[in-house]
Chain A
């Protein structure tokens, strides 16, 4: 059963510290998305990649957030320095997009719950 995996599942850190979240997309998927979920804002798209190339990171605070795909099996989202307002659940999703006649569905990982004190 292919799944998107994310590590860590939970992270508590202090303001100013660097946070790195990792995602392993489903094997064969060519597109990876990073989302942030909060009660106030819901699910927000931060950035996404196709074939490891960044396509859009307009949803991401540029001064402190960075997203990369070192290889096809790993996507990272880094926050430096972290702030209390970054506290949220961060989801990675992957998909085979465009899917042609099949769905362009994104499949989500379990998320990383980040708390910045």
Chain B
């Protein structure tokens, strides 16, 4: 069935290190994916998106990789900062434009 899931519920990294958050999806019809960041008490905030015809997209300190063969995507955050501490969600969308969200990964940045 349609689902987007995450491998790890919590990720703890040292400040300054790179973070990698993983996500698996099952809907082959998903043609775009979005990563959101949600801080406590706030709504999900758009970070970066990627279309299914791409395998990599870079933003400021973030990179999203998409592997359609194994239905997996990842979010890489370079030089992780305390302000990056949050819950990160991946979401997949298809031609209906409805997003299916994963369960989220909590990123903790150790000083």
Contact = CB atoms under 8 A, between A and B. Distances in A.
A98 interface: yes
Interface in A68-117: 91, 93, 95, 97-98, 103-111
Interface residues of A, number: 22
Interface string A1-39: 000100000000000000000000000000101000000
Residue among A93, A106, A107 having the largest count of chain B Cβ atoms under 10 Å: A106
Contacts of A109: 43
Contact of A43 (B41, B89, B96): B89
Residue among B43, B49, B93, B96 with max Cβ neighbours from chain A (10 Å): B43
B18 to A, nearest CB: 25
Secondary structure call for the A interface: strand
Given A42-B101, A45-B99, A104 B43 contact: no
Interface in B28-59: 32, 34, 36, 41-46, 49
Contacts of A97: 97
A104 B46 contact: no
Given A31-B97, A97-B97, A103-B49, A108 B104 contact: no
A31 B42 CA distance: 21
A43 to B, nearest CB: 4
A7 B41 CA distance: 14
B61 interface: no
A60 to B, nearest CB: 13
B63 interface: no
A108 B45 contact: yes
Interface of A: 4, 31, 33, 42-43, 45, 48, 56, 91, 93, 95, 97-98, 103-111
